[in-house]
Amino acid sequence: MLSARHPSADTIHDAFHVNNSMKRLAFILVSLLFLLWGMANNMNDTLLAAFRRIMSMSDLQTSLVQFAFYGAYFCFALPAAIFISRHSYKAGILLGLSLYAAGTMLFYPAGQAASYGFFLFAIYVMAGGCAVLETTANPYILSMGSPETATRRLNIAQTLNPVGAICGILLSRHFILSELNVADAAERAGMDSQALAAIQQHELNAVSGTYMLIGVVLLVLLAIIAAVKMPKDRDSGKFDIRRTFGRLWHNKRWRYGVVAQFFYVGVQTGVWSFTIRLAMDRLGMAEKDASLIFLYSIVAFTLFRFLFTWLMGYVRPVKLLRVAAVAAIGCTLGVIYGTGWASVWALVGISACMSLMFPTIYGIALEGVTGDDAKLAASGLIMAILGGALITPLQAMVSDAAGIGTSFWVPVVCFVCVLAYASMRNSR
């Protein structure tokens, strides 16, 4: 139901938390981090298509990229919360950027060794950095203003996340996918070993070089943030995990928010991991051309993120979450039962529906949670990103066994879980 109150200039001012120049700069720099991990997340989705071609892998084998990436989130989130509690949000940001940059640089020896396992390790280290950044940046943004506008403020910062995703797709399309040899698995199996090794090395060099370029950008941003004065965290100090977790466990909004976030991240990762695969299947496209469908999906995601953020000035976030979940279920059924371009446009529609889900679930779950409670609560929500590591291989197994279209029943179940959370009394 529309509110009669229009967002005022003061509300927008508060949403950005621009009380002074230092805080304004801090908000901008922290928001840039959302762009950077968005880039990493969505380059993974193109990596699946790249490794499938380069190393002639199944969907299940390529899904190990997501298992390594999102598994790192589970492992690093809680240590990150402890670290920032004992030090500061700025220290957490510097640590996260350092790990992220180190992971990208590990792509070079991985490419030289032509080792899929080495690439997975590099992805794990890189994702560990992203996990630290997300655990740090999300509660930092929420703390930059009044609680009433916290969810909207997070959505504003999160608008840079799909911008990063678009950048990642464009980088992958022009520097990785365009360098893939057209030879399929059967043709590669019949090649001379030296000829195949030469082709694979060229393709892997394209992968490594792209990620190392990102690493250079990360090191520049690391130096800038290290030199900039950031707002101090007044709540830093001793961190009693047991007592803090005990308080959080009795908060149903947070507890079930973790579950909802698990299924949401799982569905987002699964849908985007197999967007290129479905476009190739339904439209007969090559990887580079099919990546355009992925780009359309991220553009839709970005545009609707702006739309939903604007609507939050009129409609409560939880109501928008319910509408988006129902629409996402409908679009997913369109992918399953549709054909040709109809199913592909339904696939793009899923991304539009997903655009508000992560920050909205996050904001609802952390409503009223402050101090060190917020840091542990944030780490729990980031650990829930484990859904991307577990649900994507599940969808891959269904795809290998029954086809890429049938595999989208897994996202249907996940969206139902998100809808259930949005419909709970304690979420309203």
Residue spans of the chain under pLDDT 50: 1-18, 236, 428
Residue 2: inside a domain = no
DSSP assignment of 90-147: HHHHHHHHHHHHHHHHTHHHHHHHT-HHHHHHHHHHHHHHHHHHHHHHHHHHHTSS-G
Residue 313: inside a domain = yes
Structural domain boundaries, residue 249: 11-231+240-427
Task: Give the residue among 347, 345, 361, 352 at the shortest CA–CA distance from 308.
Answer: 352
pLDDT at residue 323, as a whole number: 94
Residue 187: inside a domain = yes
CATH number of the domain that residue 258 is part of: 1.20.1250.20
Rounded CA gap, 371 and 96, in Å? 21
Residue 87: inside a domain = yes
Rounded to two decimals, the pTM is 0.75
pLDDT at residue 10, as a whole number: 44
Residue 348: inside a domain = yes
Count how many domains the chain has.
1
Residue 3: inside a domain = no
Residue 5: inside a domain = no
DSSP assignment of 274-324: THHHHHHHHH---HHHHHHHHHHHHHHHHHHHHHHHHHTTTS-HHHHHHHH
Residue 1: inside a domain = no
pLDDT at residue 20, as a whole number: 63
